[in-house]
A and B are shown apart, each in its own frame.
Chain A
């Protein structure tokens, strides 16, 4: 006896007192998922009378019953029992009995397993603070592990997976050339344009070249490159390693005697340490070109005078500063990406969270490191 889903289900509930205090309810039609609310409400309203001590539900008129309908009958039975009203089912066919036999009556009695959900704001702040501290501890721990792995690899260069290093140089560096070039060009162009609006007023057009040169080489090229690499490669590292963790590939590596950090993190970090400084120099070039375009087309400067002014304003030391910053940023991006990937514990959601966290943490650490550079270089 099952629902005929192509027809519109109908149900009728009537009742009559058999004898004093005993109500007999007749259900006709379909007792299905679509009709249980209606039946439940009608039965409850008919049993509200305080004189009712017993209820008999006659199911002889039932044409279709599904498991939802059967569940409703069991639930009614339980609710009536709570109100000290006896409920019995009459004319229950074999098919109905079969469906009811599938159900577990005790399911309603089992308490719901709930997760520990602290709603207090203070509790949340406390937990979040402890989480930050724990995260910082784990990050330092990972940094230590990475350094040890690096020293091991330097001691045994043959153990470095050079093919992987080349692969990730291509992924992080070569494939990032178009976007890094375009963004740097536009940043150079914007700085030149915005600064020219002010410098034009005091006749200092030529100083646009100095401003763009210093800003790009010392600050913006390493910073913009790092942010782009964090978005492209840091997230990719976290997602790749995280997916491997979910698929038990990391466990497999460990059981085969490989250190996952040495096997997976070292080639990626090494690749980033090589690729990002080169990308930074490339970004310098495109940023300066952006400034040059504004200088020549908007400020009537010649290419020669712009290039001369740029060369006079920036030194090899400035370029080296940018490159050194890039090396540090690269280590942070790749390190945090691998670290977050290795931390993944739970399925697809864990991979997503690790990827987001890798990008956000990397950008935060890049800005933090850049601030430290600004202060330290000021005193050097």
Chain B
């Protein structure tokens, strides 16, 4: 973490022995000539749920898009399992892609395809797997998100929460090592939000999947986060990193305390 004055609830370097799966290294994010994030560094450890938090416009989604390789950093690098995602090509890139699944804010399901066809997309490279096995995997993954039987429906025929769950099923169809979520609870009713949170936790627990989540839903953050990274627009960087419960009580930075306690500045 390069930003001065930031509070560290629990030093990530003390997690000795834990494998670093993602490393954001002195990264600067720039969009249309505007610097959104400047010289930020942090690590994500294998099996942890890291939530990127911050107020609107602080660059949470921009950071996520850099981490999944959609945006190229102006400076610095993002390493996924030791490989620079922005300079990986061919088989190396394919290997990174297989390691990760992404649930986009609007679910990212292709509107012209049924749920089944959407789910089959990540399986395209597995041509030697029988159709029976593919159908079984699709059915069971949809079952995991309580959408078994919806294979033939189009995304437009589903509610917002169902789309989100279908997007999650597609993201985890290959049992990725890392799952990225952009605002998983946005626009959902409280019950569906809690259901998504429960799914995130149970997948993390059962499969050991590393989760990187962008969110500003406080309840969800305290429910699921092992650790948070907090961004700030004015600082254009990280102002806090650590256990959200510790930061809520112990941070010296008013911005962090106010955010985590739902108070105005």
Among B126, B137, B140, B207, max chain A CB count under 10 A is at B140
**Which listed segment binds B: A30-38, A119-127, A285-293?**
A30-38
> B186 within 8 Å of A by Cβ?
no
Q: How far is the CA of A2 from the CA of B206 in the complex (A)?
A: 10
Given the complex, which residues of B lie within 8 Å of A349, measured CB to CB? 111-112, 154, 156
Structural contact, A106 and B155, CB atoms closer than 8 A: no
Contact B136 A33 (CB under 8 A): no
Contact of B93 with A by CB under 8 A: no
The answer to whether A98 and B206 touch across the interface, beta carbons within 8 angstroms, is yes
Q: Does A245 contact B (CB under 8 A)?
A: no
Q: Beta-carbon contacts of B91-118 to A below 8 Å, as 1s and 0s?
A: 0000100110000000000011000000
State how many angstroms separate the Cβ of B129 from the closest Cβ of chain A: 6
Q: Is A313 an interface residue (CB 8 A)?
A: no
Are A111's CB and B111's CB within 8 A? no
Q: Tell me whether chain A's interface is mostly helix, strand or loop, or mixed.
A: helix
A219 interfacial by beta-carbon distance below 8 Å: no
Does B130 lie at the interface of the complex (its beta carbon under 8 Å from any beta carbon of A)? yes
> Digit string of A282-316 for contact with B (CB within 8 Å is 1, else 0)?
00000000000000000000000000000000000
- Chain B CB within 8 A of A103 CB: yes
B6 within 8 A of A: no
Question: Which A22-36 residues have a C-beta within 8 angstroms of B?
Answer: 33-34, 36
Q: Are A99 and B206 in contact, CB atoms less than 8 angstroms apart?
A: yes
Task: Give A349 to B203 CA distance when docked, in angstroms.
Answer: 33
B240 to chain A, nearest CB (A): 32
Task: Answer whether A104 and B206 are a contact pair too, CB < 8 Å, given A37-B130, A67-B175, A113-B152.
Answer: no
A83 nearest CB across to chain B (Å): 17
Q: Which of B177-229 contact A (CB under 8 A)?
A: 177, 202-203, 205-208
Minimum CB–CB distance for A41 against chain B, Å: 9
Query: With A2-B207, A3-B175, A67-B141 known to touch, is A104 a contact of B148 (CB < 8 Å)?
Result: yes
The CA-CA distance from A87 to B241 in the complex, in Å, is 49
Distance between Cα atoms of A113 and B154 in the complex (Å): 11
Give the docked Cα–Cα distance between A74 and B144 (Å): 13
Tell me the bound Cα distance from A40 to B174 in angstroms.
19
The distance from the CB of A254 to the nearest CB of chain B, in whole angstroms, is 21
Chain B residues with a Cβ closer than 8 Å to the other chain, count: 38
> B129–A107 contact, CB under 8 A?
no
129-160 of chain B: CB within 8 A of chain A? 129-130, 133, 136-137, 139-144, 146, 148-156
Set B126, B139, B156, B172: member contacting A346, Cβ < 8 A: B156
Contacts of B136 in A (CB 8 A): 68, 71-72, 75
Residues in B whose Cβ lies below 8 Å from that of A108 = 139-140, 143, 148
Is the pair B202, A68 in contact by a Cβ cutoff of 8 Å? Answer: no
Q: Are A106 and B143 in contact (CB under 8 A)?
A: yes
Are B143 and A107 in contact, CB atoms less than 8 angstroms apart?
A: yes
Most buried by A among B128, B143, B151: B143
Q: Which residue of A lies closest to B98 (CB)?
A: A5
Residues of chain A lying within 8 A (CB to CB) of residue B140: 67, 71, 74, 103-104, 107-108
Question: Is A114 touching B152 in the complex (CB atoms < 8 A)?
Answer: yes
Distance between A269 CB and nearest chain B CB, rounded to angstroms: 29
The answer to whether A347 and B143 touch (CB under 8 A), given A2-B207, A37-B130, A111-B149, is no
Asked if A348 is an interface residue, CB under 8 A from chain B, the answer is yes
Chain A residues, CB < 8 A from B155: 347
Among candidates B112, B146, B202, residue contacting A102 with C-beta atoms closer than 8 Å: B202
CB–CB B98/A104 < 8 A = no
Q: Do residues B175 and A113 form an inter-chain contact, with CB atoms below 8 A? A: no
Partner of A5, one of B95, B144, B149, B151: B95
> Which residues on B sit within 8 Å (CB–CB) of A75?
136
What residues of chain B lie closer than 8 Å to A71, measured between beta carbons? 136-137, 140
Question: Which residues A188-228 have CB closer than 8 A to chain B?
Answer: none
Q: Quick one: which of A2, A98, A104, A111 contacts B205, CB cutoff 8 A?
A: A98
Bound Cα distance from A246 to B150, whole angstroms: 23
A112–B142 alpha-carbon span in the complex (Å): 12
**Smallest CB-CB separation from A109: which chain B residue?**
B148
Check: A101 CB closer than 8 A to any chain B CB: yes
Known: A33-B174, A67-B207. A347 touches B111 (CB 8 A): yes
Query: Does A164 lie at the interface of the complex (its beta carbon under 8 Å from any beta carbon of B)?
Result: no
> What is the CB-to-nearest-CB distance from A237 to chain B, in angstroms, rounded to a whole number?
22
Return A36 CB to nearest CB of chain B, in Å: 5
Asked, given contacts A71-B140, A101-B206, A348-B111, whether A40 binds B133 with beta carbons under 8 Å apart, the answer is yes
The smallest C-beta distance from A246 to any residue of chain B, in angstroms, reads: 10
B-to-A contact residues, CB < 8 Å: 95, 98-99, 111-112, 126, 128-130, 133, 136-137, 139-144, 146, 148-156, 172, 174-175, 177, 202-203, 205-208
Which residues of A are interface residues toward B (Cβ below 8 A)?
A: 2-3, 5-6, 33-34, 36-37, 40, 66-68, 71-72, 74-75, 98-99, 101-104, 106-108, 110-115, 346-350
The contact sample of 6 A-B pairs, CB cut-off 8 A, is A67-B137, A68-B133, A107-B139, A107-B143, A108-B139, A346-B154
7 A-B pairs with least C-beta separation:
A107-B143, A107-B148, A104-B143, A98-B206, A110-B149, A347-B111, A346-B156
